[in-house]
Homo-oligomer: A and B are copies of this chain.
């Protein structure tokens, strides 16, 4: 199984170190190690650097479980980040010739890995006008051999957010056809008004981490929340790969989750402020538009004209040090992915730079 290049990740790896203004990062402002450790210095005392508790520090697991209504420890397995959690589920659940449904524009892992495994993948397009889910098209795509539905809610790159009645209808369709769902909730900060799908559908396997919602990808700590039968298999499979997430990641994540409201609040404020600024800027720049994201860290900025997004994004970073992942990395040209988790006092000016660069490039063609 040789992978195709993960385009958005490779784009970031290639360009992020020359970015003066990174307007596309999917994470959020990160604390330093010292800031985090200082919140509970006692928790790093006498921490032995052995494998730790193989299934993960129980205190950490309880903190994670407090995001959910069902707090049974047998419904949770720790992983190194959410991507690894997704990979584990894809490799465990899928076999050659299985049928998989996922949504586009979406995260490349969800289509690419099943394809590499010899699955047949149906991509259902989100409604471009508002990034809602086309649930009629979804139901039509279901076949007897459909093994798994994969989504990312809220979504990377569009910010699409399936909730309320739409979510209820989505679940009732899945239930009717007895479908497994892998829902990557890495951009969801679950609370009673934004509950996890794990608490709504009995065949939902939810993955998440503290990388995005708390801005702490540096700990590489994620998890799988799902039915006991699935978690039992994951726990067996972990012995062949990660073994344990280790006491350093476990302990630092425990500190972060104990103080999550304090860590979350400034990030939420940054996201809200960025959305306000962008909506204000867009009113004055009708050649650009987006669906203002109702949840998550990301939005998909549409620009006027026919300049390929890769050409636009590559030129912009070279010329002005402003980094965007182009829509082409998500098979959707005419867009740029915009990240909302970082403080940008000069956000409007940099969007002005984008517009100026775009106009100049268009006039040259």
Contacts and interface: CB of A to CB of B under 8 A. Distances in A.
A243 B91 contact: no
Contacts of A52: 218
Nearest to A237: B3
A3 B234 CA distance: 9
B45 A239 contact: no
Interface string A224-267: 00000000010011011111111111011000000000000000
Interface string A10-51: 101100000000000001001111101000000011111111
A243 B32 contact: no
A81 B30 CA distance: 25
A217 interface: yes
Chain B CB within 10 A, most for which of A55, A219, A243: A243
A218 B239 CA distance: 15
A356 interface: no
Contacts of A218: 47-52, 246-248
Contact of A6 (B6, B215, B240): B240
A244 B211 CA distance: 12
Contact of A220 (B5, B6, B80, B211): B80
Contacts of A48: 30-33, 218
A50 B217 contact: yes
A60 to B, nearest CB: 14
A204 B70 CA distance: 47
Contact of A112 (B9, B87, B240, B243): B240
A246 B233 contact: no
Contacts of A243: 9, 81, 83, 217, 220
Contacts of A249: 220, 246, 248-249
Nearest to A216: B49
A325 interface: no
A166 interface: no
A66 B219 CA distance: 26
Given A80-B80, A80-B242, A92 B1 contact: yes
B84 A236 contact: no
Nearest to A8: B239
Chain B CB within 10 A, most for which of A3, A31, A55, A96: A3
Given A13-B55, A109-B240, A240-B87, A49 B36 contact: yes
A219 B233 contact: no
Nearest to A214: B49
A119 to B, nearest CB: 13
B13 A54 contact: yes
Contacts of A109: 240
A245 B220 contact: yes
Interface in A265-309: none
A37 to B, nearest CB: 8
B34 A50 contact: no
10 contacts: A3-B240, A4-B236, A5-B239, A13-B55, A27-B50, A33-B48, A49-B217, A81-B243, A218-B247, A248-B248
Interface of A: 1-6, 9-10, 12-13, 27, 30-34, 36, 44-52, 54-55, 80-81, 83-84, 87, 91-92, 95-96, 109, 112-113, 211, 215-220, 233, 236-237, 239-249, 251-252
